């Protein structure tokens, strides 16, 4: 008999909580309802951003691992470029591709046919280096895009909730002042309805804060990988092609 009784009590408690939320929603002011609806939309946007960015960074890490294994096995810098290997959506590949295109252009400059020069000047290597740096910056911005929405949710949602609470409490006390009587029964519904906006704001901000911090950490890791790879690539280019 213990399990059925426990299940009945749990169901009754859940039903009671649902009825409380419905009652509080009914007692909320139109301004509070507008703020709550806005926060719900904001929450959907924040969760969509967190999920999409998490999938994007997870895919980038997986592709970076695959690209690294291929890059380590090539005999020369342009080996993968000459094989026309494509790794769509891989940040490291985008950096490598940009550097290889610039390097190939410099090596073919002034050479007839499809041949390449065996050496490059320091100036030419600097052009390749700048191309790599630009691509690293572009890839970092691409990975970072969308995080501003989470930052806004973290900082803005609690203030919107607080605005709804203050507005609701002000409206409640204004109504009590007009009626000329103050009692717990008169104040409690309005105050509880006002506080629900703060709860809604925190429910948006707290998951967004954890998600934002986790994504920023992964973004830093990927950015460092991009910088390190660019440095490694330019070092190999200098070793292989720079004139002594």
Q: Residue 19's pLDDT is what?
A: 66
Q: Worst-scoring range by mean pLDDT, 104-113, 144-153, 154-163?
A: 104-113
Q: Residue 62's pLDDT is what?
A: 93
Average pLDDT over residues 210-234: 93
Taking only the tens place, the pLDDT of each residue in 64-79 is 999 888 888 888 888 8
140 or 193: whose pLDDT is higher? 140
Computed on alpha carbons and rounded to an integer, the radius of gyration of the chain in Å comes to 30
Q: Residue 8's pLDDT is what?
A: 40
Average pLDDT over residues 232-238: 89
- Average pLDDT taken over every residue of the chain: 82
Domain ranges, ordered by start, for the chain? 29-241
218 or 166: whose pLDDT is higher? 218
Closest CA to 209 of 71, 95, 50: 50
228 Cβ partners below 8 Å, 6+ apart? none
Task: Work out the angle at residue 102's Cα, subtended by the Cα atoms of residues 100 and 107, and round it to the nearest 5 degrees.
Answer: 90
Q: Residue 109's pLDDT is what?
A: 79
Asked if residue 166 has pLDDT above 50, the reply is yes
């Amino acid at each position: 008999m213990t399990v059925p009784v426990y299940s009945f009590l749990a169901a009754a408690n859940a039903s009671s909580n649902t009825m409380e939320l419905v009652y509080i929603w009914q007692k909320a002011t139109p301004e509070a309802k507008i703020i709550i609806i806005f926060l719900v939309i904001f929450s959907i946007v924040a969760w969509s951003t967190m999920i999409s960015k998490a999938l994007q960074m997870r895919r980038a890490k997986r592709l970076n691992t695959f690209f690294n294994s291929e890059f380590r096995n090539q005999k020369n810098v342009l080996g993968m470029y000459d094989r026309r290997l494509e790794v769509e959506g891989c940040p490291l590949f985008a950096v490598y591709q940009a550097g290889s295109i610039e390097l190939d252009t410099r090596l073919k400059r002034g050479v007839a046919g499809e041949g390449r020069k065996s050496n490059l000047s320091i100036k030419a290597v600097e052009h390749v280096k700048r191309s790599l740096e630009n691509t690293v910056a572009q890839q970092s911005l691409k990975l970072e895009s969308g995080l501003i929405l989470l930052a806004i949710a973290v900082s803005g949602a609690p203030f919107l909730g607080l605005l709804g609470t203050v507005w609701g409490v002000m409206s409640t006390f204004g109504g009590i002042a007009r009626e000329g009587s103050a009692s717990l029964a008169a104040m409690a519904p309005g105050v509880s309805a006002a506080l629900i906006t703060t709860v809604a704001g925190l429910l948006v901000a707290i998951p967004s804060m954890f998600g934002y911090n986790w994504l920023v950490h992964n973004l830093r890791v990927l950015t460092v990988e991009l910088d390190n790879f660019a440095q490694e690539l330019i070092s190999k280019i200098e070793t292989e092609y720079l004139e002594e």
